Amino acid sequence: MKLSHILPAAALLIAVLSLPARLPAREEIRIRLAPMPGIGHLVPELALGLGYFEQEGIALELVNVMNYRDEDFFSTELLNDGTIDAEICWYQRVVFGIGNGQPAQAVFLIENSPHLTISVANRLRGEVRTAADFKGRTIADSAGFSTRRYLTDFIIARAGLPPGSYKPAPAELSAKLPLLTKALQANQVDVVACMEPMTTGLLATNLVTPLYDLSTAEGTRKALGDVWPARCLYVAPSYIAAHPDRVQRLVNAFTRALRYINTHTAEEIVAKLPPGYFAPDVNNDLWADYKKAKTDEIAKVLPGLAHGDYSVPPSAAKLACEVLAHTDFDDSPEGKYRRTAAQSGKVHPELTYDNRFVEKAMQEIK
């Protein structure tokens, strides 16, 4: 055989051997995620729109916990019985789940502020300058088991006032702007603790002035002494033990999505959201106004989202657990559920989160 016939074959063999081994196709996994209404949908929907779940080999299914429970505060049961794989809601759900024997752990922090604004009626601006001046006042701060109530109580306690120093207004006032407006005009409410979109509507009445602004990490730290773990992604500890790779891939997608949010405008974010984020039956004639409202809604919450670091700060978890343990929840069904958990002695801050996955994602994903 001629040498010229041997060389091409040898060269081909060398070329084949030098090619990298083909990696096996990544197994697609299905994850059932239950995001809370409103801003809870933003990160997963954006990750869908940008293809981050597809990149991680995740087929995501968004579900509503109300399809399985009459009350959504039982949602950690769904994590532990395998109905859903993950949920986005307030960090406090983790605390209440642990205390009621249905544990969960936060694996990704979306917000480090509660978006709470505490405002004083303009007629009292000269008299009410800090929470120490809330004594004897009437405060509209929602139901007796709500985040607004216990954070307002904590701020008042930090100002040195004992529990019961103020009179809570009827809870329905905090849910309906027309009722709240009438109460302010009739001098029946002195202070209001509310969140978006109520805050924007309330400030537009020109009847109140913000006193404490917990819509950013800086304002939250000033009012509470630390940032506050608000909405987060959490899963059951049993799911973490059984499927660490799935948790990692889920957190990877969330990390990419929140990084995008941190570095883009509300308009740019809206442009990347899939149709599923928007109401399906908006009239074409109203679409421009609807889109602007959604853009404005997102713009308002951007300052309160975690930025750069999406792990749960141990100090913030400790603060939240201490506040919840000392909260006097009301006797409503949800209030009793929360009280049972918070006072159970089962909740320890270090059990409420697992930062391994987000720390790995933040380090390895460039």
pLDDT by residue (tens digit) across 324-344?
998 888 898 999 999 999 889
| Mean pLDDT score of the chain | 90
- Supply the range of the domain harboring residue 300: 29-113+229-287+294-364
Same domain, 42 and 141: no
Tokens 């999406």 locate to 310
Handedness of CA 357, 359, 360, 365 (dihedral sign): positive
* Domain end point (choices 214, 241, 260): 214
Better pLDDT: 39 or 153 = 153
pLDDT at 27: 72
End-to-end Cα spacing for the chain: 54
pLDDT at 83: 96
pLDDT tens, residue by residue, 292-327:
999 999 999 999 999 999 999 999 999 999 999 988
DSSP 8-state code for residue 286: G
How many structural domains compose the chain?
2
Q: What percent of the chain has pLDDT over 70?
A: 93
In a domain, 5, yes or no: no
Taking the complete model, does pTM exceed 0.85, yes or no?
A: yes
At 39 the three-state DSSP class reads helix
**Residue 220's Cα: distance from chain center in Å?**
15
Same domain, 35 and 75: yes
* Lowest mean pLDDT, pick from 31-40, 46-55, 211-220: 31-40
The neighbour count for residue 60, using CB atoms within 10 Å, is 21
* Domain end point (choices 172, 191, 214): 214
pLDDT at 4: 44
**Mean pLDDT in residue range 53-77:** 93
In a domain, 224, yes or no: no
Same domain, 53 and 87: yes
What is the rounded CA–CA span in Å between residue 213 and residue 215?
A: 6
In a domain, 102, yes or no: yes
Could you tell me where the DSSP H helices lie in 159-236?
177-185, 198-204, 217-224
**Mean pLDDT in residue range 254-279:** 95
